[in-house]
Amino acid sequence: MTDIQRFETNDRMSQIVVHNGVLYLAGQVDLDMSETVTDQTTKILERIDALLKSQGADKSCILSASIWLASMQYFVEFNGVWDAWVSPNQAPARACVQAELAHPEFLVEVSVIAASA
Amino acid sequence: MTDIQRFETNDRMSQIVVHNGVLYLAGQVDLDMSETVTDQTTKILERIDALLKSQGADKSCILSASIWLASMQYFVEFNGVWDAWVSPNQAPARACVQAELAHPEFLVEVSVIAASA
Amino acid sequence: MTDIQRFETNDRMSQIVVHNGVLYLAGQVDLDMSETVTDQTTKILERIDALLKSQGADKSCILSASIWLASMQYFVEFNGVWDAWVSPNQAPARACVQAELAHPEFLVEVSVIAASA
């Protein structure tokens, strides 16, 4: 498997795995556990921007996004940040469902698959 | 990223994204919010058929399916429709878990990754 | 679609689908419904090892993993088995969320995407 590249790897996961022109990002949460959905979403999307940039890619390269909200009551607030962030006319496919996340303070988690630059 | 194609794109998501021979579909729900699991599943799978057809593909091209049910009590009813719909001897990989969906009336959501034709 | 290969296929799903150098595995559960999270996780990861081996691949080929726990109370116990199993310095991207699974006795489900050997 010499054609797999991994970045920010520890014993549990890599934050980015690159294979065959595709980037697989780990599910991103706001480790600062900001209080609001808006703040957590903003930080998560900034983190995704940074991870993509580390590979020479950007949000226009995102193919598909998996979104988990700790409560569907956060749907409108999350989408307010998401819709403004998405690259115009270049929105990815996505699915958004409710799920309890790894820590009760995590309100949002986002994972993406992207094309490498 | 000139090698990404998007279809049915709005500010939030694209219904299909095509990259490197792979189609990524958005999570499909029954926007008509039909009353039964059978009806919602039927409409969702018809919608997936139509999206795949728009790219010259069909259900035999599906590589992997993610299925969310608002309640696991729907598992048998969902599978009744799904099993009859799947292309014989060409079933995709799949995972099916429970999750609250974007609206309380949504009972089923299905997202697929497929090979382009 | 002559370039799709499927293995362990029934009317509902295939356990492995191969396309364009990528393996898509079905979500794996412990069909024996062992009592503990440790035992279920161990059996699931052995099953993933076996499925990958059937294609000449192994856990170092895993690009991305989706993990569902029936309760987030299982997070630490699951990670104890997972972290020890992961190929050193070759951890995949992953996302881990809570979800009710197909049967109440299923405590863990894991689905992976991997590079073919």
C72-117 pLDDT tens trace = 999 999 999 999 999 999 999 999 999 999 999 999 999 999 999 8
Domain formed by B29-110, architecture: 2-Layer Sandwich (3.30)
Q: The tokens 């600062």 sit on which residue?
A: A32
Q: Strand ranges (DSSP E) for C20-61?
A: 22-25
Between chains, do B95 and C66 touch, taking CB under 8 Å as contact?
yes
A12 DSSP assignment: S
- The answer to whether C74 touches C47, Cβ cutoff 8 Å, is no
Measured in degrees and rounded to the nearest 5, phi and psi for residue B39 equal: -65, -45
Mean pLDDT by 10 residues, chain A (117 residues): 88 98 98 96 98 98 98 98 97 98 97 95
- pLDDT for A2 equals 54
**Nearest chain A residue to B110, by CA:** A95
Binding-face residues of C in 13-72 toward B, CB within 8 A: 13-17, 19-20, 24-27, 66, 68
Strands A62-69 and A93-98: parallel
The answer to whether domain A4-115 has CATH 3.30.1330.40 is yes
- Where do the structural domains in chain B lie, given as residue ranges? 29-110
Would you state the structure tokens that stand for residue A3, as one six-digit string?
């054609």
- pLDDT for C2 equals 54
Between chains, do B100 and A97 touch, taking CB under 8 Å as contact?
yes
Q: Which of B26, B100, B113 sits opposite A94 (nearest CB)?
A: B26
SS3 (DSSP) at B84: helix
- pLDDT for C113 equals 98
Looking at chain A, the number of H-run helices and the number of E-run strands are: 2, 6
Length in residues, chain B? 117
Would you state the structure tokens that stand for residue A79, as one six-digit string?
């989408």
Measured in degrees and rounded to the nearest 5, phi and psi for residue C30 equal: -90, 100
Would you state the structure tokens that stand for residue A48, as one six-digit string?
């995704």
In chain B, what percentage of residues exceed pLDDT 90?
Answer: 97
Q: B2 falls in which pLDDT band (50, 70, 90)?
A: low
pLDDT tens-place string over residues B15-63 = 999 999 999 999 999 999 999 999 999 999 999 999 999 999 999 999 9
DSSP H or E stretch at residue A63: strand A62-69
pLDDT tens-place string over residues C33-67 = 999 999 999 999 999 999 999 999 999 999 999 99
- The answer to whether C76 touches C103, Cβ cutoff 8 Å, is no
B24 DSSP assignment: E
- Helices C37-53 and C75-85 pack at an angle, to 10 degrees, of 30
Count interface pairs A-B at CB distance under 8 A: 86
CA neighbor of A24 nearest in space, from A37, A36, A9, A6: A6
C-alpha distance across the termini of chain A, in Å: 21
Burial C85-116 (b: 16+ CB within 10 A, else e): ebeeebbbbbbbbbbbbbeeebbbbbbbbbbb
CATH of the domain spanning C28-110: 3.30.1330.40
* Chain C interface includes B78 (CB < 8 A): no
CA–CA separation, C98 vs B41, rounded Å? Answer: 23
Chain A residues touching C75 at Cβ < 8 A: 102
Would you state the structure tokens that stand for residue C32, as one six-digit string?
């024996």
Q: What is the torsional sign of CA C83, C87, C93, C94?
A: negative
Residues facing residue B94 across a β-bridge: B65
Measured in degrees and rounded to the nearest 5, phi and psi for residue B112 equal: -130, 155
Q: Strand ranges (DSSP E) for A1-117?
A: 4-9, 14-19, 22-25, 62-69, 93-98, 108-115
